[in-house]
């Protein structure tokens, strides 16, 4: 049997504690849920493991796959299996309104003074900004597209078009292509006339539409040539460019959104959760995460630690910083109020191709 100094010391501590009549103190632990895959592996390397080393607080990882159901189950049963979770804007807003998430005490997050304004929500701290852009196959056209409106012009730029499944993002793009100002997108979508305008704009490319769900799909479709252009996520695009794929992007217009760290209100380790949020709000730490994922930081000054090439790829810093912020309170409220009816209309429209 092998015996190490570390294991021997641990055993000795256990014996001493037992002789003293007291238990060995358990290490404090946070359960954190994120999106899994290589994304969460980067979080482990850049964030979770260093956090434990710095604080002594262990992290148990779990996955959150989106949607409201896990949070509804927590509220219904009173069992809160997560202490921190990365979630999207609509779920954050609903959870805040229904008391599922804590209203954050920003005085407990000193580093929050470094955050960009959009990253400080009532119940959420911004994790990353995620851009959507139009990408195209570099061999598809003699003259490359340069404007968002080119995506909707099958005469000058023939070929299949990829869009994300469902109405989100697509209706915003359609109104931008129709000339609606960014500040008026959700006001316009809130009217029958605005919705008709969005769908009529999409009608121009309806015959060539291909829908996707996973973020890797548009990259594969465009680089493989089965689709000439597609809406895609900026992080996926940047990684594909680094891999030498034959794709480029249109930077004329687009959208960017934000994911948030939220703390379920039933957590029993809120102080540890606040330490984690503060640990994350550090520009050097976020810059390292951006280098690996190509998604945008939520801390001011993090861009100073990136190469010029990297800066150009990330939302709020490079070419996407003037694009539509689709995680604004106005946007989130619009989709919370209208998503079921718009999904029904969208499904009827797309199925009538």
Give the whole-number percent of the chain exceeding pLDDT 90: 69
Burial 126-146 (b: 16+ CB within 10 A, else e): bbbbbbbbbbbbeebbeeebe
Encode pLDDT of 306-323 as tens digits.
Answer: 998 888 877 777 777 789
Average pLDDT over every residue of 335-351 = 92
Please determine, for residue 16, whether its predicted confidence score (pLDDT) is greater than 80.
no
User: 189 and 171 in contact (C-beta within 8 Å)?
Assistant: yes
What pLDDT, on a 0 to 100 scale, did the predictor assign at position 38?
79
What pLDDT, on a 0 to 100 scale, did the predictor assign at position 34?
93
Please give the residue that has the higher pLDDT: either 208 or 313: 208
Please determine, for residue 242, whether its predicted confidence score (pLDDT) is greater than 90.
no
Give the pTM: 0.77
What pLDDT, on a 0 to 100 scale, did the predictor assign at position 8?
40
Please determine, for residue 14, whether its predicted confidence score (pLDDT) is greater than 70.
no
Please determine, for residue 253, whether its predicted confidence score (pLDDT) is greater than 80.
yes
CATH of domain 133-255+325-350: 3.40.190.10
DSSP tag of 326: T
Encode pLDDT of 49-63 as tens digits.
Answer: 999 999 999 999 999
d(CA 36, CA 201): 36
What pLDDT, on a 0 to 100 scale, did the predictor assign at position 10?
40
DSSP characters over 157-220: S-S-EEEESSSTTHHHHHHHHTT--GGGHHHHHTSHHHHHHHHHHHHTTGGGEEEE-STHHHHH
What pLDDT, on a 0 to 100 scale, did the predictor assign at position 18?
39
Please give the residue that has the higher pLDDT: either 103 or 17: 103
Between helix 234-242 and helix 216-224 the angle, nearest 10°, is 50
24: confidence class by pLDDT, cuts 50, 70, 90: very low
* Domain parsing of the chain, residue ranges: 26-129+258-324, 133-255+325-350
What pLDDT, on a 0 to 100 scale, did the predictor assign at position 322?
82
Total residues belonging to the chain = 353
d(CA 156, CA 318): 28
Average pLDDT over every residue of 129-157 = 96
Please determine, for residue 32, whether its predicted confidence score (pLDDT) is greater than 90.
yes
Encode pLDDT of 62-117 as tens digits.
Answer: 999 788 889 999 999 999 999 999 998 988 999 999 999 999 999 999 999 999 88
DSSP tag of 47: I
Q: What does the block give as tokens for 34?
A: 């994120």
**26-129+258-324 and 133-255+325-350 have identical folds:** yes
User: 268 and 22 in contact (C-beta within 8 Å)?
Assistant: no
d(CA 316, CA 324): 10
Listed range (21-30, 88-97, 156-165, 185-194) with the worst mean pLDDT? 21-30
Considering only the top CATH level, what class is 26-129+258-324?
alpha beta
Please determine, for residue 196, whether its predicted confidence score (pLDDT) is greater than 80.
yes
What pLDDT, on a 0 to 100 scale, did the predictor assign at position 272?
98
What pLDDT, on a 0 to 100 scale, did the predictor assign at position 23?
40
Which segments of the chain does DSSP mark as H helices, in order? 5-20, 37-43, 49-55, 69-77, 89-97, 170-177, 185-189, 192-203, 216-224, 234-242, 270-280, 283-293, 308-311, 329-350
d(CA 336, CA 31): 28
d(CA 187, CA 183): 8
The count of other CB atoms within 10 Å of the CB of residue 198 is 25
Listed range (65-74, 120-129, 172-181, 268-277) with the worst mean pLDDT? 65-74
> In the block, which residue shows the tokens 């292509």?
177
What pLDDT, on a 0 to 100 scale, did the predictor assign at position 149?
96
Average pLDDT over every residue of 158-182 = 96
What pLDDT, on a 0 to 100 scale, did the predictor assign at position 75?
92
Average pLDDT over every residue of 161-173 = 95
- In Å, how far from its chain's centre is CA 270? 23
């Amino acid at each position: 049997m092998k015996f190490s100094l570390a294991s021997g010391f641990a055993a000795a501590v256990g014996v001493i504690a037992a002789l003293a009549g007291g238990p060995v103190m358990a290490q404090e632990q946070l359960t954190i849920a994120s999106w899994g895959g290589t994304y969460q592996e980067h979080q482990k390397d850049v964030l979770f493991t260093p956090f434990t080393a710095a604080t002594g607080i262990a992290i148990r990882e779990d996955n959150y796959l989106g949607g409201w159901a896990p949070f509804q189950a927590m509220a219904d049963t009173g069992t809160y299996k997560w202490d921190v979770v990365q979630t999207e804007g609509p779920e954050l807003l609903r959870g805040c309104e229904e008391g599922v998430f804590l209203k954050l005490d920003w005085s407990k997050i000193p580093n929050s003074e470094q955050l960009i304004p959009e990253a400080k929500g009532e119940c959420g701290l911004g994790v990353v900004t995620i851009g959507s852009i139009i990408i195209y196959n570099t061999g598809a056209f003699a003259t490359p597209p340069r404007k968002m409106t080119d995506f909707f012009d099958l005469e000058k730029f023939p070929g299949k078009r990829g869009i994300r499944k469902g109405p989100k993002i697509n209706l915003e793009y359609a109104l931008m292509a129709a000339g609606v100002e960014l500040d008026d997108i959700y006001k316009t979508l809130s009217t029958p006339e605005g919705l008709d305008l969005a769908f009529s704009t999409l009608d121009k490319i309806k015959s060539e539409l291909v829908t996707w769900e996973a973020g890797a799909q548009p990259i594969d479709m465009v680089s493989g040539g089965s689709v000439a252009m597609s809406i895609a996520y900026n992080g996926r695009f940047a990684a594909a460019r680094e891999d030498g794929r034959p794709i480029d992007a249109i930077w004329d217009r687009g959208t960017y959104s934000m994911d948030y760290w939220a703390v379920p209100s039933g957590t029993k380790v809120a102080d540890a959760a606040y330490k984690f949020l503060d640990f994350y709000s550090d520009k050097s730490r976020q810059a390292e995460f951006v280098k690996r994922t190509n998604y945008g930081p939520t801390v001011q000054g993090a861009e100073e630690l990136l190469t010029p090439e990297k800066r150009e790829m990330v939302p709020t810093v490079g070419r996407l910083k003037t694009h539509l912020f689709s995680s604004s309170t106005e946007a989130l409220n619009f989709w919370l109020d209208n998503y079921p009816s718009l999904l029904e209309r969208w499904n009827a429209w797309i199925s009538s191709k």
